[in-house]
Structure 1
Amino acid sequence: MDQLFAGGLAASEVPTGTFTWNDSDDISPQVVNGRPASENYPWMVYVSGCTGTLIKANWAVTAKHCGTPSSVRVGSVNRSSGGTVVQVVRAVNHPSVDVKLLQLASSVSYAPAPIPSTSGAVGTATRIIGWGQTCAPRGCGSAPTVAHELDTSIVADSRCLGINGPYEICTNNTNGNAGACYGDSGGPQVRRINGAWALIGATSRAGNNNSTCATGPSIYVDLPSIRTWINTQVGGLPV
């Protein structure tokens, strides 16, 4: 997971039968069987139909297979209020994996999430955060206004079907019957480093072929593995 990989899977190259979390544009990002956000993460970015994370004062990251929005809400776990709404002026897609960078029209004052040098070993405790329905079947409920979070962990790549191991993270819920779902694309996967949250992943797709969510692990793009590319595109990440 911690190696730079030159030939990952583009969204269009995801194996047939693998479910991406943006298959339904009318379902907002979601975390199934999570809990309301326990803190107001300043780097949360609400993207219509998806979600994202602030990585620099004027840049956010989301999933490549998401559409490019005209604006996003930054700095609030409430998708309809708080934070700052800012225009998006440009999108940059990674050439081989499911990552899109969004350049904002102006800088915001919220602290971005740092991207560390490595994502972590199997067994590392992580957390995923997002908005949307909190039940597993597609279209089973409406999206909550406040983002939900779920404590998760990194598991062996063998647990996820079709994973690009050096470039993606296989992520499992800690208690069973919970996880990411349709529309959760681009959402942050974070872990604690020296007491602070660090961004290691962006939601990509399901790790199994079951169309009902939370029945298996999820696949996240390993952001530390492309940190050099991100750093170049945004003109230098925060130190």
Structure 2
Amino acid sequence: MNKIFRSVLVGAAAASIAFIGAGAAGAAPVGNGGATPNIVGGSKAPATPWAVQLIFQKTGQSGSFGCTGEAISADWVLTAGHCVKGVSGMKVYYSNVTPASGENIAVDNFYSQPGNDVALVHLSKSKQLDSYPALTDSYKVSTSDTGLIMGYGHRANDAVADGLYQAKQKVIGSSSDTAGGPAIHLQGVDGSANRGDSGGPLIIGGKIVGVASTVDSLPGASTTGKANYASVTNARQWIKSTSGV
């Protein structure tokens, strides 16, 4: 069974639970099976102001949870639908360093697309960036494609990441997200998605075509794990009508 991959943070440190973090990876030698200071493959991402951290509380649960998101305008952030389910409060952090620190803005509303693991969060005050990522209008799944995933998720053997990481993944077909909507099925080329990467972007052809929804299984220290990224194409009209982006 596929698993969603949000991560839970207790105090300032991240601790793993049964949920799995969506999408990023970082340079990690795989070998002795012990926790390493490197993520599950990939590399440290360059400064990416629009790649944000979502830190939130859930009704009836203790501690704080973390997901990855994409600032798509001064007022809106794109993420996974399961990252906003049952949330009682959320802050968006614009630092690419973990644990989340520095400038943050509270969220004042959440919107989820029915039947798709895609969500939008609205900021309580505007945050203007120099640029924003492009969203696809009509990506068609092709097994000849290779994309880039990014996120703040755990590294090899669930070691906590120190910032934003990225990895290459190849498209291996179509699949379903955790809400039952269409998804892009991926396999790691040099890195795997892990806990805390939920909502992170899949970038193909310079545009975001998916957001991290589930992994097929926890990657451990494998750099070739499989993941399912909810289709942005399927959500594109809903994103436009909700956010104007």
Would the TM-score normalized by the shorter structure come out above 0.5?
yes
For residues 97 and 139 of structure 2, the distance between their equivalents in structure 1, rounded to whole angstroms, comes to: 27
- Equivalent residue number for residue 40 of structure 1: 47
- Equivalent residue number for residue 77 of structure 2: 60
For residues 128 and 177 of structure 2, the distance between their equivalents in structure 1, rounded to whole angstroms, comes to: 39
SS state of the match for residue 78, structure 1? coil
> Is the 8 Å Cα contact of residues 163 and 170 (structure 1) preserved in structure 2?
no
> Is the 8 Å Cα contact of residues 154 and 196 (structure 2) preserved in structure 1?
no
Cα distance change on mapping 1:23 and 1:77 into 2, 3 Å: closer
Cα distance change on mapping 1:77 and 1:21 into 2, 3 Å: same
- Equivalent residue number for residue 133 of structure 2: 113
Q: Give the alignment of 1:133-148 within 5 angstroms.
A: 133-136=154-157, 140-141=158-159, 143-148=160-165
For residues 89 and 186 of structure 1, the distance between their equivalents in structure 2, rounded to whole angstroms, comes to: 18
For residues 36-56 of structure 1, the C-alpha deviation after alignment (integer angstroms, 9 at most, x for no partner) is 11x212210101211111112
- Equivalent residue number for residue 229 of structure 1: 238
- Equivalent residue number for residue 32 of structure 2: none
Structure 2: gaps (5+ residues):
10-14, 26-39, 56-65
Q: Are 2:177 and 1:168 aligned?
A: no
Say how many residue pairs are matched. 203
RMSD: 2.6
Q: Return the offset for 1:81.
A: 4.5
Q: Are 2:6 and 1:22 aligned?
A: yes
Cα distance change on mapping 1:86 and 1:163 into 2, 3 Å: closer
For residues 186 and 233 of structure 2, the distance between their equivalents in structure 1, rounded to whole angstroms, comes to: 15
Q: Are 2:153 and 1:132 aligned?
A: yes
For residues 86 and 135 of structure 1, the distance between their equivalents in structure 2, rounded to whole angstroms, comes to: 30
- Equivalent residue number for residue 193 of structure 2: 180
For residues 96-155 of structure 1, the C-alpha deviation after alignment (integer angstroms, 9 at most, x for no partner) is 11112100112222122121212343222210011132114xxx42x2222111011222
Cα distance change on mapping 1:81 and 1:166 into 2, 3 Å: closer
SS state of the match for residue 150, structure 1? strand
For residues 29-71 of structure 1, the C-alpha deviation after alignment (integer angstroms, 9 at most, x for no partner) is 652222111x212210101211111112210011111244421
- Equivalent residue number for residue 11 of structure 1: none
Amino acid in structure 2 at the alignment position of 1:179: S
> Is the 8 Å Cα contact of residues 168 and 219 (structure 1) preserved in structure 2?
yes
For residues 76-109 of structure 1, the C-alpha deviation after alignment (integer angstroms, 9 at most, x for no partner) is 4224356x41111100011111112100112222
For residues 22 and 99 of structure 1, the distance between their equivalents in structure 2, rounded to whole angstroms, comes to: 14
For residues 179 and 104 of structure 2, the distance between their equivalents in structure 1, rounded to whole angstroms, comes to: 34
For residues 164 and 66 of structure 1, the distance between their equivalents in structure 2, rounded to whole angstroms, comes to: 12
The normalised TM-score by structure 1 is: 0.75
Structure 1: gaps (5+ residues):
1-16
For residues 101 and 201 of structure 2, the distance between their equivalents in structure 1, rounded to whole angstroms, comes to: 20
SS state of the match for residue 47, structure 2? coil
Percentage of identical aligned residues: 24
